[in-house]
Chain A
């Protein structure tokens, strides 16, 4: 088991390397540089600043240096937020994004799983149609519509929630962002759960369990659920990676100081190090969660072995 995890992590290194290399050169090909926007910067000063950050070196040398620093866990300084290193920015923002993402994921799995199960048990009845309709709505309505509507209804009309802001992590400030993040996920999880639960309930061992006189509850929870959650586990891996690394829409609308905005802002400002940092963080999250998914898979389905 441990060996398997280690091997998987080792094989992830080439993937990470390709992603880093691609991202590094792509962002460098883009016209403009991190210090181009500042008006009135005389050429000499600009050259000095660029020399200070090593931006006047040949590109291959910069690339080698970046990889060297990255290997030591050093993401470098941010160019547009000059008092911070990329590591500091992530240390401040990532916990916030991870918190919101984790809450949203948990909510999505519990609510979506329950809704999907209810729909599967009441196939082609009113409850089923209600869940399908909700799921269609959840996947169709984009986040940037849901978020302001939540602000409008709960924040302005009913005065239940603050309209935005982090509020030092007060629980009420998290409700809006978490709901916005969770709703589309709830919809997808419910759809997946409904499909896989219907299939799982048709399996032979379920019929046997029923024939042996087990209660509905115990048939579902003990026997059907185990097989039914497999598709959700494989969906949840990439979804978790995306949720935990922050959402630019949610963080912009609710004014949350997470890391979701960094990617867009940094790419637009050619903040090379911050862009690269974000790419690396997202890639690491993706790799780790895919690994976790595979481990959970093997635990749930004994036919899957670590090989």
Chain B
């Protein structure tokens, strides 16, 4: 036994050894951009999962009174919006508006009509997006005039509303749910297929490897977008199926990376040592090969997820991806791009969410690469 061997075995009193992963984690923690991005991603994920329940608006609810409302931190309706909303309601009631006054958060309005006014007309006020809690304050004996009152419904549209009056905040969070889960779903599909295919080719080697890789080469030679569109054509607009399929297209790179890695791992001395010691093929695979493959796979996966999100957004932008009323960041950005003249917040906020997430994913991917790349040591 040499001194060097003694040195590595010697300090047993140290609290445990450092595995590849604890080592990588320590380095990752030292990388501030990557850690900040990781925290940001966690927050974004939590916001997208929990957010749609916390926002008081449903992402499909249409507020007819609030079409293309600009974003605002204060509550709606604004002072000048009450009158037009009130006139809208009264027109629907088919009554003549008299004067109206506002006391606190209640409005009082006098109405007259040629025919007796039915009290059930109040439900027009209830149904409006601006008012609730409608009451009849007084009623003329002949029923031709009436004073109604209703409370103003205070609502917040922090990011404004879209073209048909849906709350953009709840839509953006909901879109995030879809975009992120599609990214993960398709990313996982690509990784599973790629790892299986690449590992098989790498391990079997020889002729099988050659044929399998030639198939990958041929698939590479077709324009990528052609593939994606063919998948859309085949799977229709069912987005879960489609993104499984998109994942099924993205495995080509993964297969190449894993195959190369598997080939080189197979030639390592520790594999030969394990073989010499009589470890079974499965044992070698599980104990030695898979853990050593994981590094590049994890790195590639973090870089694949933003790729898939961009792809999803791209397809949705073309109208091929997620369909209304379901939404994704690509759908929102597409709608925003069509309305930049009249409602630029429809573009700005979804784009901000998408781009910041992509940035964070990239930083985390780069950080992981630095942390896990053994050559860097």
Contact = CB atoms under 8 A, between A and B. Distances in A.
A230 interface: no
Given A27-B230, A148-B337, A248 B344 contact: no
Given A22-B218, A152-B347, A144 B333 contact: yes
A282 B224 CA distance: 11
A45 B313 CA distance: 39
A263 B358 contact: no
Interface string B213-237: 0000010011101100110111000
B310 interface: yes
A148 B317 CA distance: 12
A18 B225 contact: no
B351 interface: yes
B358 A148 contact: no
A38 to B, nearest CB: 18
B229 A268 contact: yes
A27 to B, nearest CB: 7
Given A15-B221, A140-B358, A144-B313, A279 B347 contact: no
B318 A282 contact: no
Nearest to A266: B229
B355 A31 contact: no
Contacts of B354: 142, 145
Interface in A22-51: 22-23, 26-27, 30-32
Nearest to B225: A263
A212 to B, nearest CB: 35
Contacts of A145: 333, 351, 354-355
A19 B362 contact: no
A30 B230 contact: yes
A267 B317 contact: no
Contacts of A141: 355, 358
A80 to B, nearest CB: 15
A172 interface: no
The CB with the most chain B CB atoms within 10 A, among A18, A137, A140, is that of A140
A65 interface: no
Interface residues of A, number: 38
Contact of A30 (B233, B337, B351): B233
The CB with the most chain A CB atoms within 10 A, among B222, B223, B313, is that of B223
A263 B234 CA distance: 16
Contact of A282 (B223, B320, B341): B223
B230 A267 contact: yes
B30 interface: no
Given A148-B347, A156-B340, A279-B223, A26 B314 contact: no
B225 A152 contact: no
Q: How large is the interface on B (under 10, 10 to 19, 20 to 34, 35 or more residues)?
A: 20 to 34
Given A22-B222, A148-B340, A30 B234 contact: yes
Given A22-B222, A30-B230, A263-B229, A152 B344 contact: yes
A283 B354 CA distance: 32
A136 B358 CA distance: 10
A19 B221 contact: yes
A25 to B, nearest CB: 11
A275 B229 CA distance: 11
Interface in A144-196: 144-145, 147-149, 151-152, 156, 163
Interface string B337-366: 100110010010001001100110010000
A147 B333 CA distance: 11
A253 interface: yes
Contacts of B359: 136-137, 140
Nearest to A137: B359
B334 interface: yes
Interface of B: 218, 221-223, 225-226, 229-230, 232-234, 306, 310, 313-314, 317-318, 320, 330, 333-334, 336-337, 340-341, 344, 347, 351, 354-355, 358-359, 362
Interface of A: 15, 18-19, 22-23, 26-27, 30-32, 136-137, 139-142, 144-145, 147-149, 151-152, 156, 163, 248-249, 252-253, 263-264, 267-268, 270, 275, 279, 282-283
19 contacts: A27-B230, A30-B234, A136-B362, A144-B333, A144-B334, A145-B355, A152-B344, A152-B347, A156-B340, A156-B341, A156-B344, A248-B225, A248-B318, A263-B223, A267-B230, A268-B233, A268-B320, A279-B223, A279-B226
